[in-house]
Amino acid sequence: MLKHLYRSSILHFLSDPDINGHDAYEFFEDGALIVVDGKVVDCGAANALMTAHQDAEIIDYQGKLIIPGMIDTHIHFPQCEVIASYGEQLLDWLNNFTFPAERQFEDKDYASHIANFFLDELLKCGTTTAMVFGTVHKQSVDAFFEASQKRNTRMICGKVMMDRNAPEFLVDTPECAYTDSKELIERWHEKGRQLYAVTPRFAITSTNEQLDKAGQLLKQYPSVYLQTHISENKDEVAFVQSLFPAAQDYLDVYDHFGLLGRRSVFAHGIHLQPREHKRLRETGASVSFCPTSNLFLGSGLLDVATLEKEQVAYSIATDVGGGTSFSMLQTLNEAYKVCQLQGQKLSPLKSLYLATLGNAKTLELDDKIGSFKRGNEADFAVLDFNSTPLMTLKQSRCKTLDEKLFAMIILGDDRAIAATYVAGKCAHSKLTSI
Ligand SMILES: [Zn+2]
């Protein structure tokens, strides 16, 4: 039995700091995290834990900050190369950049190459879990899970279901989307740390028959997830209304086919109406806030305060390649600005809560990841307050924990991640990768 003691400042959350204030988190200036066999055994003040665990091997990260591995609830691995594509909003951006790029994932070797690249980028940014879109090709999802399994990362992924309003080379049929998804669920769901998400791209690209098949899969496999997009762009919303004239609104299209539940994640949700908020609350489905993508594609500003007021569950995500960074720190930076533009506040503690325990809760994974609760899987990131000269200068002027965390969020990116651990194993270290 190998026991490790990581000595560092440590921050993790027990609940939402907007609700429970200082009781919502634990911060140990001189702290220790004890890990045995990939699981958290203890977390607390260094002095006490060093006395209690004298048999542990000590890894010294003093001066740095350990937080739980960050979680990204919406991202597309086949869009690594689509990032930073100029000049379009959602529907043209899909047709001109995304669909041609996704065509390449028919080739499994190519899919494996990009899946490995993608996972390394996430780990470099301190992200240890993500909810990920594949392409319409089932081999893209096999390639992804194989790469994730090799790293032992806890990942959620699914094959895109898409049987209309897309190029001929990228469409499936209701029947083959169903059989391919079923085959992938049987092969990958709950295999090691891998989890499956039924993945209709969005209402525009699926027929009634295909959405019905997605609902059937959720009924047959109640522990799988559902991921899709909703109300990202006004032209998209109008298109959906024209395709589904009988639906009360966009969310009602998905609701009709049984796609709403506690494991359903709807990316964006910028232009949702009050009835849709109410229905999300009733079903426990969540919205994924993707600030860099929403700004980049000119989609709009998510009204986070209204989601809070209406008690709609939400998480935070990058949405690469509509999003412009793999870094959750940079994503929180942009989230802060999206809130500022609407006269709303996003505190540094709430931001880091969202990126860890908050996101874990929306994925119903908070009994496994997102905090350093005893028995949790030991996924964590080591943050460096001195990753650039500017960061060092700014941090030297910060007096409180809030100020230090805020400067980390606004100035930090992949350079601020000194190391990333996956189930107690070092999966990225700046020291070794330089
Ligand atoms: Zn997306």
* Tokens encoding 184: 């992938």
113-149 pLDDT, tens digit each:
999 999 999 999 999 999 999 999 999 999 999 999 9
CA of 130 to the centre of ligand 1 (A): 12
CA of 227 to the centre of ligand 1 (A): 9
CA of 39 to the centre of ligand 1 (A): 32
Read off the DSSP letter of residue 344: -
CA of 315 to the centre of ligand 1 (A): 14
CA of 76 to the centre of ligand 1 (A): 6
CA of 79 to the centre of ligand 1 (A): 9
Q: How far apart are CA 319 and CA 313, in angstroms?
A: 18
| Per-residue pLDDT at 433 | 42
Length of the chain: 434
- Clarify whether residues 19 and 76 are in a common domain: no
| Per-residue pLDDT at 393 | 98
| Per-residue pLDDT at 87 | 87
Picking from 346, 381, 397, the residue at the C-terminal end of a domain is: 346
- Clarify whether residues 46 and 105 are in a common domain: no
CA of 215 to the centre of ligand 1 (A): 20
- Clarify whether residues 203 and 293 are in a common domain: yes
Q: Is residue 363 part of a domain?
A: no
H helix or E strand, kind and range, residue 30: strand 25-36
Q: Mean pLDDT across the stretch 18-36?
A: 98
Q: How far apart are CA 262 and CA 362, in angstroms?
A: 8
CA of 431 to the centre of ligand 1 (A): 33
Rg of the chain taking only CA atoms, in angstroms? 21
Q: Is residue 342 part of a domain?
A: yes
171-216 pLDDT, tens digit each:
999 999 999 999 999 999 999 999 999 999 999 999 999 999 999 9
- Clarify whether residues 48 and 94 are in a common domain: no
CA of 292 to the centre of ligand 1 (A): 11
- Predicted confidence (pLDDT) at residue 1 exceeds the cutoff of 90: no
Q: What CATH number does residue 389 fall under?
A: 2.30.40.10
- Predicted confidence (pLDDT) at residue 429 exceeds the cutoff of 70: yes
Q: pLDDT-based confidence at 434, cuts 50/70/90?
A: very low
CA of 104 to the centre of ligand 1 (A): 18
Going by C-alpha positions, the residue among 201, 231, 205, 227 that lies closest to residue 300 is: 231
Q: Which structural domain, as residue segments, surrounds residue 56?
A: 3-68+370-433
CA of 267 to the centre of ligand 1 (A): 6
CA of 53 to the centre of ligand 1 (A): 45
- Clarify whether residues 381 and 391 are in a common domain: yes
Q: What CATH number does residue 310 fall under?
A: 3.20.20.140
Q: Is residue 364 part of a domain?
A: no
CA of 65 to the centre of ligand 1 (A): 31
CA of 396 to the centre of ligand 1 (A): 38
Going by C-alpha positions, the residue among 162, 116, 51, 124 that lies closest to residue 325 is: 124
Q: Is residue 359 part of a domain?
A: no
The amino acid at residue 107 is D
* Tokens encoding 315: 């998480």
387-405 pLDDT, tens digit each:
999 999 999 999 999 999 9
Alpha carbon dihedral 227, 414, 122, 340, in 10-degree steps, equals: 0
CA of 312 to the centre of ligand 1 (A): 19
Picking from 346, 380, 404, the residue at the C-terminal end of a domain is: 346
Q: How far apart are CA 258 and CA 277, in angstroms?
A: 17
- Clarify whether residues 30 and 163 are in a common domain: no
- Clarify whether residues 81 and 49 are in a common domain: no
CA of 322 to the centre of ligand 1 (A): 7
46-97 pLDDT, tens digit each:
999 999 999 999 999 999 999 999 999 999 999 999 999 988 988 899 999 9
Q: Mean pLDDT across the stretch 337-346?
A: 98
Q: Is residue 358 part of a domain?
A: no
Going by C-alpha positions, the residue among 261, 265, 271, 194 that lies closest to residue 240 is: 271
Q: Mean pLDDT across the stretch 256-267?
A: 98
The secondary structure of the chain in percent helix, strand, coil, rounded to multiples of 5, reads 45, 25, 30
C-beta of residue 384 within 8 angstroms of C-beta of residue 418:
yes
Going by C-alpha positions, the residue among 126, 184, 117 that lies closest to residue 157 is: 184
The amino acid at residue 96 is N
| Per-residue pLDDT at 432 | 54
| Per-residue pLDDT at 431 | 74
Q: Is residue 353 part of a domain?
A: no
- Clarify whether residues 404 and 320 are in a common domain: no
CA of 51 to the centre of ligand 1 (A): 48
CA of 407 to the centre of ligand 1 (A): 28
Report the percentage of the chain scoring pLDDT > 70.
99
CA of 319 to the centre of ligand 1 (A): 5
Picking from 346, 361, 392, the residue at the C-terminal end of a domain is: 346
194-206 pLDDT, tens digit each:
999 999 999 999 9
Q: Is residue 144 part of a domain?
A: yes
- Clarify whether residues 290 and 185 are in a common domain: yes
- Clarify whether residues 246 and 269 are in a common domain: yes
Q: How far apart are CA 318 and CA 341, in angstroms?
A: 19
298-333 pLDDT, tens digit each:
999 999 999 999 999 999 999 999 999 999 999 999
Residue 433: CB atoms within 10 A of its CB come to 9
Q: Which residues contact 205 (CB under 8 A, 6 or more apart)?
A: 162, 163, 164, 165, 166
C-beta of residue 226 within 8 angstroms of C-beta of residue 181:
no
Q: Are strands 380-383 and 313-316 parallel, antiparallel or unpaired?
A: unpaired
Q: Show contacts of 344-347: CB within 8 Å, 24+ apart.
A: 344/304, 344/305, 346/304, 347/17, 347/18, 347/402
* Tokens encoding 237: 């919303």
Q: Which residues contact 289 (CB under 8 A, 6 or more apart)?
A: 302, 304, 314, 315, 316, 317, 335
Q: Give the mean pLDDT of the chain.
A: 97
- Clarify whether residues 56 and 78 are in a common domain: no
- Clarify whether residues 143 and 228 are in a common domain: yes
Q: Is residue 360 part of a domain?
A: no
Q: How far apart are CA 167 and CA 127, in angstroms?
A: 33
Domain count, the chain: 2
C-beta of residue 414 within 8 angstroms of C-beta of residue 124:
yes
